Amino acid sequence: MEREVGPFRDELLAGLSGRVVEIGAGNGAKFAHYPPTVHEVIAVEPEPYLRARADESVGGASVPVRLYDAVADDLPLEDKSVDAAVTSLVLCTVPDLGRATLELRRVLKRGDQLRFLEHVRAANPRKARLQRSLDRPRLWPRLGGGCHCARYTVAALEAAGLQIEQIRSFDLGPGWLHTNPHVLGLARAP
């Protein structure tokens, strides 16, 4: 999967600068891909196993990284304290998507950007029904590490007051997968 996702993650991080918060750092695979214009990455990862892997990746990072045991809906940052925020295949797992998106807006400086790479609920009604059926009994969330495949992620960003400027939809792997489609986009804090 990394071979498929890698080019999209490179695009996600291209051109970033200043102080960046990365939500759901996972194993820290993105740390080495931040451009030199980024002065600091504040990486948030609540899962102990993944945070330990991310900690191992800090040494190979291309920019300074501070790793925190924290969750997306309670970021350890001051209001309007970051120049950019990054989410990558993580908003499907946050327990409270609404609170997490409000937190992202809270920490972003006015006019600065959220870069996101996420899978979202399908527009096709048949596929959306399948996604909802997997989420409802919490079957897929249990099997997929908390992932909810039927979330309206882009609508949640907009509901938090973030303004979508760019968005592109695509499939990663076969289109029939329940975790397709994906979106790559940019939103700004008002």
Q: In what order do the strands lie in the sheet with 163-170?
A: 65-68, 38-44, 18-23, 82-88, 108-119, 182-188, 163-170
Task: Report all structural domains of the chain as residue ranges with CATH numbers, in order of start.
Answer: 2-188 (3.40.50.150)
- Residues of the chain with confidence (pLDDT) below 70: 1-2
Q: pLDDT tens digit string along 9-51?
A: 899 999 999 999 999 999 999 999 999 999 999 999 999 999 9
Are 32 and 61 spatial neighbours (Cβ–Cβ below 8 Å)?
yes
